[in-house]
Structures are given as C-alpha cells and as structure tokens.
C-alpha cells in the first residue's frame, strides 16, 4: 500500500510540476518555466510541513483531549491502538455539516478532525466507523497526497485567475508573449487539468480507506450508513471552504455526490458505489468475527 501511494504521489507531483512549467513558459518563456518549477517546489515543500495547519485552520477546528471530549478521544485512541498507529491529535470543527478528515505529513505528525455536525447527527457506531476510515488514511500514508494536491490546486486556481485577468485586459498582446486568447484558454484549461490529476489520485484513496476502515471497525454497514447520512446532509448544507480543500473530507463538503455527468470530475467516488462495496464486504467480515 505505501509503495503504491508513493507512486501515486510521484505521478501527482510530476504532472502538477509539468503543468506549472507549462504555465510559466507561456507567461515568460524559459525564464517563466524556471519560475513555474520554483513555485511548484515551494508549494510542495510548504504543503509537506504545514499541510495539517492549513487544513485545520480552514476547518476552524479546535483541538480536544480526554478531558474536553472523553468519548471522542477514547474512540480515536482505541482505533489507533488497534491499527498500531501513534495517537493522532484530535480536533472538532464547529461546522453543523456532518463530516471528517485526517491530515498530517506522516503517522507521527497526524491529526483527525470531525465536525460538530458529525457528533450531533450520527450515532456512536457511525462516528466510530468514520474515525476508522480516517485512521485508514493515516495508516495508508496517503493523507500527504491529498494535502499536496489541495495546496497546488489552490495555487493553480490563483494563476488561472491571473491569466484570465491578463487575457481580458490584453496583458499578453506583445510579440514576445502569449496572446490574450491563449491566456484565456490557459485560464480555462489549467484548473481542469489540475482537477483531473487530483481526481485520479483522490478517488482510489477513498475506496482503500473505506475497505481498511471497515476492517478496523469491524462494522462495514455502520460506515455505509454513515456515508449515506453524510451525503444527504452535505447536499442540504454545503460547507464554506475552498474547493481545493474538499478532497480531504470523507464526503464532498461542498455539494455532496451528484448523480450526473459532473460526477466524472469529482475527487470523491460516488457514495452509492462506496456503499455497494461495503455491503459486499459485510458478510466476509462478519464471518471472520
């Protein structure tokens, strides 16, 4: 699992790095390409060291401990012990939408965050199943992938907006630079390319975390039930975060999973497919138990 996720990280970084170099070259030739590569490396380094702080701050989450949230803390502790993981830091976000995410550069520097909505709307067995899913992300060492992808997607969105403004106001009409039309086209295509790369990494991560999380909790149907509940409530009350941060959460916090063509471009796999796989696992796990 760790080797496969390392390969995914390499593919993501190579693809995103190439995109930054392309954007830089369109803006400023060889010098711009070098600047693009420098930006990509800087963002990757920053996301490696500060990804947990960025995600936690975006969620407005507050750290809790065994005194302030004893039941939640005990759930995380028991699951981490079963998974042979260091105890992650535990946070609670004030969002009323039920959701959760894991963050951090490695298991020794990891954190799990849940929303007030999760604790309020879900029974304990579903909360435990969601926490097991998040600890699976930590165990599989794939939380860094999503953090880097989110940070770079944010940067690409900013660059695309700059290109859009430059194209609209004719900033690229000199002979040595790109035309206004090419800059507008780049502004449209760059976020799509970044999203497709992020999607290719993120969707399989969720299936893997569902599978191991179900094994860890011993209750696939609790996770299936939680996913259905979280999807329905996420659609009713989208969370106020940037789209680049959405892939970190267990379900899409912005719109939930829509059942149309747009699902092809979402970082999360369809919840109905995730539930189907969990339901297929249930008889095997129960027979072992």
Query: Cα(34)–Cα(28) distance, rounded to whole angstroms?
Result: 9
Which of 257, 243, 147, 131 is closest to 201 using CA atoms?
147
| Pairing of β 89-93 and β 62-64 | antiparallel
In terms of C-beta density within 10 A (0-12 exposed, 13-18 middle, 19 or more buried), how is residue 208 classed?
middle
3-class DSSP state for residue 216? helix
N-to-C CA span, the chain: 24
How many residues are present in the chain? 289
Q: Which residues are catalytic?
A: 134
Which of 264, 252, 257 is closest to 199 using CA atoms?
264
Which of 84, 66, 85 is closest to 75 using CA atoms?
66
CB distance 155 to 4 below 8 Å: no
| Pairing of β 100-104 and β 89-93 | unpaired
Q: Which DSSP helix (H) or strand (E) runs through 102?
A: strand 100-104
| Pairing of β 110-115 and β 100-104 | antiparallel
C-alpha dihedral, 42 to 254 to 247 to 151, nearest 10°: 0
């Amino acid at each position: 699992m760790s080797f496969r996720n390392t390969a995914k990280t390499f593919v993501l970084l190579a693809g995103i790095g190439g995109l930054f170099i392309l954007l830089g070259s369109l803006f400023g030739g060889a010098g711009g390409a070098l600047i693009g590569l420098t930006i990509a490396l800087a963002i990757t380094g920053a996301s490696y060291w500060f990804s947990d702080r960025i995600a936690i701050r975006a969620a407005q989450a507050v750290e809790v401990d065994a005194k302030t949230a004893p039941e939640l803390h005990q759930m995380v502790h028991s699951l981490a012990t079963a998974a042979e993981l260091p105890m992650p830091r535990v946070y609670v976000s004030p969002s009323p939408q039920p959701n959760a995410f894991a963050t951090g550069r490695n298991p020794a520097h990891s954190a799990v965050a849940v929303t007030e909505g999760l604790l309020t709307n879900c029974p304990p067995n579903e909360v435990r199943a969601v926490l097991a899913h998040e600890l699976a992300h930590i165990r599989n060492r794939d939380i860094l992938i999503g953090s880097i992808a989110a940070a770079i997607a944010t940067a690409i969105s900013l660059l695309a907006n700059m290109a859009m403004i430059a194209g609209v106001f004719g900033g690229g009409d000199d002979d040595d630079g790109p035309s206004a039309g090419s800059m507008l086209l780049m502004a449209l295509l760059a976020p799509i390319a970044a999203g497709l790369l992020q999607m290719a990494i993120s969707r399989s991560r969720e299936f893997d975390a569902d599978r191991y999380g179900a094994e860890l909790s011993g209750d696939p149907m609790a996770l299936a039930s939680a996913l259905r509940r979280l999807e329905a409530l996420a659609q009713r009350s989208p969370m106020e975060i940037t789209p680049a941060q959405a892939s970190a959460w267990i379900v899409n916090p912005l719109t939930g999973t829509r059942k149309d063509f747009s699902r092809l471009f979402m970082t999360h796999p369809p919840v109905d497919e995730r539930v189907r796989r969990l339901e297929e696992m249930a008889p095997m796990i129960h027979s072992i138990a």
